[in-house]
Amino acid sequence: MEMVLQRSHHPVPGQEQQEAAAELSSAELRRGPWTVDEDLTLINYISDHGEGRWNALARAAGLKRTGKSCRLRWLNYLRPDVKRGNFTAEEQLLILDLHSRWGNRWSKIAQHLPGRTDNEIKNYWRTRVQKHAKQLNCDVNSKRFKDAMKYLWMPRLAERIHARAGADDDNRDYSNNDLSCVSGVTMATVANCFDGSPSMVTSSSSDSFTSESQDLKKINLHVHGDDEKMNSEDWMQEVDHEFWSTEIQPNNEQFQDQQLNGWVQGFSEGLSETLWSLEDIWKMQ
DNA sequence: AAACCACGCAACCGCACTCTA
DNA sequence: ATAGAGTGCGGTTGCGTGGTT
């Protein structure tokens, strides 16, 4: 089916488009939640004719929807490779990391999370991350909040990922999972938070936006397959080594803010040995 | 049991950019 | 060169659902 879906057809010739457009006034257009029938109609049509030319597609398929609506429904929900369910620790870490680089460039971030849509990531950010910033009484774009992410959540997520990776070491298979590979790079990135480099400690968080870092280049090389010489496993081992050869020792001097410092210390005392998730951290509030 | 509330997510909107005739 | 159609993206809205009172 996927092969079929990649085709880009022009379902309706120009004249028919105009006629169809005339037939369907805006008053007849449906809005709101999609029905099962509509979903099936869209899926069947795309499997037969391919996607693209969404306005024409909507009319040709007999859907009383705008092309935009069809496109959105397909990309965000009906596509066979859309991944459902909660974000894994790897994905959460990756989102935090990439957002720190690119800001609200959701589609760009989504490109590095296979099966996840920009909409889903955007929702995750708004509902989870921004909510937490609110609870901390600080802006999600503030240095304070970014520091909390950088020095606290991301390392904890990385720890959690690594602990799990260690637990099922025998079952690791990086060759078939882009996300695992990408998250390995993110681990390396997180490790940089603790390497004592002045730039990470003192610079404003926007500094991290200014240039593509080394590990990001690796993401691109790997994901886009430009580096034919390095296979997935070698590459993963390399970035894993980068990360775990760096000792994780959060430097509390990095937290100039007394309130945040106290908050960090508070839950550090409360949770020493458990595996962490963002949810765990939030519950500590 | 019912009313209320908060939350998460699907869907929509508006704008900007690209493509095509 | 240009206008209109198509597409992509980020922001926003509103509905369904589960929890609380």
Nearest residue to B8 (CA, C1')? A127
CA of A69 and C1' of B14: distance in angstroms?
14
Report domain extents, chain A.
29-77, 89-165
How far apart CA A11 and CA A14 sit, in angstroms, is 10
Each residue of A72-99: pLDDT tens digit? 899 888 888 888 888 888 888 888 888 8
Q: Torsion-angle region of residue A172: left (phi > 0), alpha (psi -120 to 50) or beta?
A: beta
Enumerate the nucleotides of strand B whose atoms come under 7 Å of any protein CB.
7-14, 21
- A89-165: same fold as A29-77? yes
CA of A127 and C1' of B4: distance in angstroms?
21
Nearest residue to B6 (CA, C1')? A127
- Topology annotation, domain A29-77: Arc Repressor Mutant, subunit A (1.10.10)
pLDDT bracket for residue A252 (50, 70, 90): very low
Each residue of A158-193: pLDDT tens digit? 888 888 777 765 454 433 334 343 444 455 544 444
Only one residue has tokens 């908050």, namely A263
Each residue of A103-152: pLDDT tens digit? 888 888 888 888 888 888 988 888 888 777 777 777 777 777 888 788 87
How far apart CA A237 and CA A285 sit, in angstroms, is 36
Q: Which nucleotide is nearest to A68 (CA to C1')?
A: C7
Each residue of A204-250: pLDDT tens digit? 333 333 333 343 343 333 333 333 333 333 333 333 333 333 323 34
- Topology annotation, domain A89-165: Arc Repressor Mutant, subunit A (1.10.10)
Q: Which nucleotide is nearest to A32 (CA to C1')?
A: B11
pLDDT bracket for residue A53 (50, 70, 90): confident
